[in-house]
């Protein structure tokens, strides 16, 4: 029986210190119409874990049209290795054509990445999520301490739920560190994107991703020309006490 | 069904850009008259009514809307396009909706 929104905070609290595999088991025991989002990076550990729990797990990747060749090759290696149903999703061609016609191929360096990401990532993602009851992501708290410290292992997905369609999001790796993810990759002989060997920690679109130096934050390798930590629309309620 | 819009004044005294954008979009769409009350959340003043409402409803984004209906708990909306569609029953474009998802969410894990 699917988890309903009112149960989410209790389950998030109950499972917050459980291993990722138990969170995946919980997800698959409650949802059949569920898919894993695979970005072509180290979230491959979720695919490995899930395929040991259940055969034929739904997995999807967003092909923005701007991924690195290494990422395309990696996605295919994952498809060949695991007994999964891997779907590659594409953006609306008309929307991409309009953006490129109006602003060129590198508008994100001038206008910020969000407009391009909205078209190339969020559009196809939303289309996919409208057809699911739950999804699984590889987001972790340590990826961006400034913006992701509060990620729970189970959430009601307020970004993509609608009045008529509640969507539950599982983040089994929320409390894992990068070191734990890589320990799992080594221990389980999990394939990984060759870009990691060249200093890339976070892997997204080719023009928006770069290698980072030792001890740099993972997200410093993405959209480095923008200031991502400032969210102007935040209401600083916690600073109110005097 | 009284609707309250809570707008923010930033800690430096400047108006919030997103709040101004939302107000303009409501005006451009001829929906401004559907807002019954405007309240200010002044980050310099924790006692300001808007900051008190933010605390009461545990909201940490601005602007936000409070929709009251007799016999029901108040509903709080922080996503503009969803508020327009679900409460005001008006149309929004896909482009607007996707842009708002990007604006309000950190999706860099995808």
User: Distance (Å, rounded) from C-alpha B98 to C-alpha B93?
Assistant: 9
N residues, chain B = 110
Residue A162 gets which letter from DSSP? B
Report the pLDDT value the prediction gives residue A234, as an integer from 0 to 100.
64
Q: Answer whether B98 sits within 8 Å of A122, measured CB to CB.
A: yes
State which residue of chain A sits closest to B43, comparing Cα positions. A236
Instruction: Tell me if chain B has a CB within 8 Å of the CB of A121.
Output: yes
Nearest to B41 among A126, A144, A235 (CB): A235
Report the pLDDT value the prediction gives residue B65, as an integer from 0 to 100.
97
**ipTM of this complex > 0.85?**
no
Comparing C-alpha atoms, which of A59, A61, A104, A114 is closest to residue A84?
A: A59
Domain count, chain A: 1
Tell me which H or E stretch contains B84: helix B80-86
Residues of chain B with pLDDT under 70: none
Interface of B with A in 1-60 (CB under 8 A): 8, 10-11, 16-18, 41, 43, 46, 51, 54-55, 59-60
Instruction: Tell me if chain B has a CB within 8 Å of the CB of A127.
Output: no
User: Distance (Å, rounded) from C-alpha A81 to C-alpha A39?
Assistant: 16
Q: Is residue A175 exposed (0-12), middle (13-18) or buried (19+ Cβ within 10 Å)?
A: buried
At A170, which CATH number? Answer: 3.40.50.620
Tell me which H or E stretch contains A156: strand A154-156
Q: Answer whether B109 sits within 8 Å of A137, measured CB to CB.
A: yes
Per-residue pLDDT of chain A (242 residues; tens, 9 = 90+): 888 888 999 999 999 999 999 999 999 999 999 999 999 999 999 999 999 999 999 999 999 999 999 999 999 999 999 999 999 999 999 999 999 999 999 999 998 899 999 999 999 999 999 999 999 999 999 887 667 778 999 999 988 998 889 999 999 999 999 999 999 999 999 999 999 999 898 899 999 999 988 878 777 888 888 865 444 566 664 443 33
Nearest to B103 among A43, A114, A138 (CB): A114
CA distance B67 to chain A (A): 15
The answer to whether residues A137 and A37 touch, using CB atoms and an 8 Å cutoff, is: yes
User: Distance (Å, rounded) from C-alpha B106 to C-alpha A219?
Assistant: 11
With contacts defined as CB-CB under 8 Å, which chain B residues touch A163? 82, 86
For residue A172, give its domain range.
5-239
Report the pLDDT value the prediction gives residue A233, as an integer from 0 to 100.
62
User: Distance (Å, rounded) from C-alpha A212 to C-alpha A167?
Assistant: 34
CATH numbers and ranges of domains, chain B? 3-104 (3.40.30)
State which residue of chain A sits closest to B45, comparing Cα positions. A240
Report the pLDDT value the prediction gives residue A226, as an integer from 0 to 100.
86
Comparing C-alpha atoms, which of A129, A157, A137 is closest to residue A20?
A: A137
> Residue A233 catalytic?
yes
**β-strand partners of A154:** A170
């Amino acid at each position: 029986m699917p988890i309903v929104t009112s149960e989410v905070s209790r389950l998030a609290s109950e499972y917050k210190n459980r291993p990722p595999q138990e969170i995946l088991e919980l997800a698959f025991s409650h949802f059949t119409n569920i898919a894993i989002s695979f970005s072509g990076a180290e979230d491959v550990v979720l695919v490995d874990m899930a395929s040991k729990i259940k055969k034929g797990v739904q997995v999807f990747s967003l092909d923005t049209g701007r991924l690195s060749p290494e990422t395309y090759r990696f996605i295919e290696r994952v498809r060949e290795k695991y007994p999964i149903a891997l779907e590659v999703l594409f953006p609306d061609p008309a929307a991409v054509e309009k953006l490129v016609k109006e602003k060129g191929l590198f508008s994100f360096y001038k206008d910020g990445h969000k407009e391009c990401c909205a078209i190339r990532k969020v559009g196809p993602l939303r289309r996919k999520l409208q057809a699911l009851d739950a999804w699984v992501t590889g987001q972790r708290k340590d990826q961006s301490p400034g913006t992701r410290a509060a990620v729970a292992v189970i959430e009601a997905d307020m970004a993509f739920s609608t009045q008529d369609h509640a969507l539950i999001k599982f983040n089994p790796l929320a409390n894992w560190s990068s070191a734990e993810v890589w320990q799992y990759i080594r221990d389980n002989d999990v394939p990984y994107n060759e870009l990691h060997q060249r200093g890339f920690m976070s892997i997204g679109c080719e023009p928006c991703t770069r290698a980072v130096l030792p001890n740099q934050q993972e997200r410093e390798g993405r959209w480095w020309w923008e200031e991502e930590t400032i969210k102007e629309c935040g209401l600083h309620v916690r600073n109110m006490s005097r | 069904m009284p609707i309250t819009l809570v707008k923010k004044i930033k800690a430096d005294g400047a108006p919030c850009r997103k709040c101004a954008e939302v107000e303009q979009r409501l005006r451009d769409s001829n929906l401004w008259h559907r807002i019954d009350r405007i309240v200010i959340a002044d980050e310099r003043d924790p006692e300001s009514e808007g900051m008190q409402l933010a605390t009461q409803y545990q909201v940490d984004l601005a602007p936000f809307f409070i929709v009251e209906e007799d016999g029901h708990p108040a509903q709080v909306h922080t996503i503009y396009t969803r508020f327009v569609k679900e409460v005001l029953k008006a149309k929004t474009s896909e482009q607007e909706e996707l842009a708002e998802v990007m604006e309000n969410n950190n999706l860099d894990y995808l």
